[in-house]
Chain A
Amino acid sequence: MKVLVAVKRVIDYNVKIRVKPDNSDVDLTNVKMAMNPFCEIAVEEAVRLKERGVASEVVAVTVGPKAAQEQLRTALALGADRAIHVETDEKVESLAVAKLLQKVVDEEQPQLVILGKQAIDTDNNQTGQMLAALTGLPQGTFASEVKVEGDKLRVTREIDGGLQTVELSLPAIVTTDLRLNEPRYAKLPDIMKAKKKPLATKTPAELGVEVASKVTLLKVEPPAERQGGIKVGSVDELVDKLKNEAKVIS
């Protein structure tokens, strides 16, 4: 079966972001960008399905600026067979990303689409669910285990109270949680090989999708700064402070 994986270019998770002085947005000039960690897990899962002979082809797709091709090359180095770049410099929000991915799904007809559960920049946690709705397919979100069983997919999901297992008809949409797998690192020869793998480029206009959103970003502010407190010298002092100064225990 064919597996489609959606990957997103985001700020590297180690970078502490800063808000622009005019509060228009966060400042992303010269910050290190990388593949969204949940998308790395998505790629890894797809590649493992291929290594196990379950998947026949892994196609990576991204929506983003020219530079997002770096993340597609990373996906190719990790084992994807080919890549599709939907190129746009617009800020494309989840619904528009899902509409674009829907067109790619229409063209590619994958049996399985794997996405990250959330992008660590906008923390939306929406795109996979929206894609499932638009394509009329079932969704296995926050997956910590995925098993193909005949024409069904068994997904174990991380939910608030523990774990839930659901069975989905195929084709299906899966979004990854952190414990689904531990992604590998790309090896140098694979990075070289990835440069030669096919990468197709499309535009939202070619796909017939209007990316404009009805949501406007009015401003972005830093969160209220927490004042660092004091160090206490002993457990006794800690208990005393909690009782008599903070008054949070009695």
Chain B
Amino acid sequence: MSILVLAEHHDGQLSPATAHVVAAAQQIGGDIDVLVAGENVAAVAEAATKLDGITRVRVADNAVYAHQLAEPLGALLAALADDYSHVLAPASTTGKNVLPRLAALKGVSQLSDVIGVESVDTFRRPIYAGNAIATVQSADPLKVITVRTSAFEAVAEGNSAPIEAVDTVVDNALSAFVGEELAQSERPELGAARVVISGGRGMGSGENFQLLEGIADKLGAAIGASRAAVDAGFVPNDMQVGQTGKIVAPELYIAVGISGAIQHLAGMKDSKVIVAINKDEEAPIFQVADYGLVADLFEALPELEQKL
């Protein structure tokens, strides 16, 4: 087996997601290469060399790969894929954007959001918003897989793998990057945080999310939201937790003013401990909460912040 892991990176930094995908690759077994594709990514490549269990880091550093647009990145991966039995990427918006493109270019299927490795060709993945877990076996010569990073413990960083340049350069006349609006936050990334506190429609407004901030500061938590809170314009879309948002599995998840729709549960029900604060004691969120507090959030949150 030889496995290519597509590194996830933003703003010159290797994202923690990559170490989780390498862990999934280790469970498959074989030589593991990490591909860093982008523009001016020397620092990212350097960071990737430390990941335990990898054989080498391959670097495609060229302006055409800037912002990791799907068209050039898909073509690059397709050019490299013949050396590999598996290509893996995190089930991030980058991975989900490009891996199906690679798979189709190679005429193979793609397995999305894998949460378990049974063998080199058999994997477990959630379907129906996580309400069923499918075990699937692929007979394709190349397995193209996105990995749900919360399902695999990150590998440690004690390695010093060699770096090799990839000089494949592809053309891209199809797409161009125009701009980006990225949320600036000092807080940990939602997908990597040990504690997540999320607000729903019950928060009532964007300003009221400040009630969560004091608590998040004390707990070192990331802040999330339900789709209703995002749709109402309280907070930006990148904070959405759920079937169609981020999937998180922190040690502690605190849901505030969230009813517990299955689409929201799909994004957080693998958390180790779940706390729900809701004024409706019948809210379905209490069915999955380890600790439920029936209370008005406008009273409970200030008190909680003070007592932590």
Contact = CB atoms under 8 A, between A and B. Distances in A.
Contacts of A213: 109
Interface in B24-69: 67, 69
B93 A123 contact: no
A157 B180 CA distance: 9
Given A17-B131, A164-B67, A129 B100 contact: yes
B104 A220 contact: no
B250 to A, nearest CB: 9
A85 B295 CA distance: 52
Contacts of B244: 117-118, 177-178
Give the secondary structure class of B's interface. mixed
B58 to A, nearest CB: 22
Contact of A248 (B71, B140, B251, B289): B251
A148 interface: no
Given A26-B128, A222-B132, A226-B288, A120 B67 contact: no
A223 B308 contact: no
Contact of A179 (B179, B237, B246, B252): B237
Contact of A226 (B99, B181, B269): B269
A232 B292 contact: yes
A200 interface: no
B131 A16 contact: yes
B180 A133 contact: no
Contacts of B281: 231
With most chain B CB atoms within 10 A of its CB, the pick from A125, A160, A161, A226 is A160
Interface string B229-253: 0110000111000011010000110
Contacts of B135: 217-221
B80 interface: no
A168 B70 CA distance: 11
Given A166-B177, A220-B134, A238 B139 contact: no
Interface residues of A, number: 77
A223 B133 contact: yes
Contact of B132 (A125, A130, A221, A232): A221
Contact of A229 (B131, B269, B290): B290
B104 A123 contact: no
B273 A169 contact: no
A185 B304 CA distance: 43
A137 B71 CA distance: 8
Given A123-B128, A158-B93, A214-B108, A230 B307 contact: no
Contacts of A228: 286-289
Contacts of A57: none
Contact of B307 (A122, A126, A239): A239
B243 A163 contact: no
A188 interface: no
Given A158-B93, A162-B180, A220-B133, A168 B175 contact: yes
Interface string B138-162: 1110000000000000000000000
B130 A133 contact: no
A124 interface: yes
Interface in A107-157: 117-118, 120-134, 137-139, 141-142, 144, 154, 157
A80 to B, nearest CB: 24
Given A138-B71, A223-B133, A228-B286, A123 B101 contact: no
Contacts of B122: 218
Nearest to A126: B100
What 3 A-B pairs come out closest when comparing CB atoms? A229-B290, A129-B100, A133-B104
30 contacts: A26-B128, A95-B103, A95-B104, A98-B104, A117-B244, A121-B128, A123-B112, A123-B113, A123-B126, A124-B112, A126-B110, A138-B71, A141-B93, A158-B237, A160-B93, A161-B180, A161-B183, A164-B67, A165-B178, A179-B237, A215-B137, A218-B136, A218-B137, A220-B132, A222-B131, A229-B291, A231-B294, A238-B275, A248-B272, A248-B273
Interface of B: 10, 67, 69-71, 74, 92-94, 96-105, 107-113, 122, 126-140, 173-183, 191, 195, 219, 227, 230-231, 236-238, 243-244, 246, 251-252, 262-263, 269, 272-275, 281, 286-295, 300, 303-304, 307-308
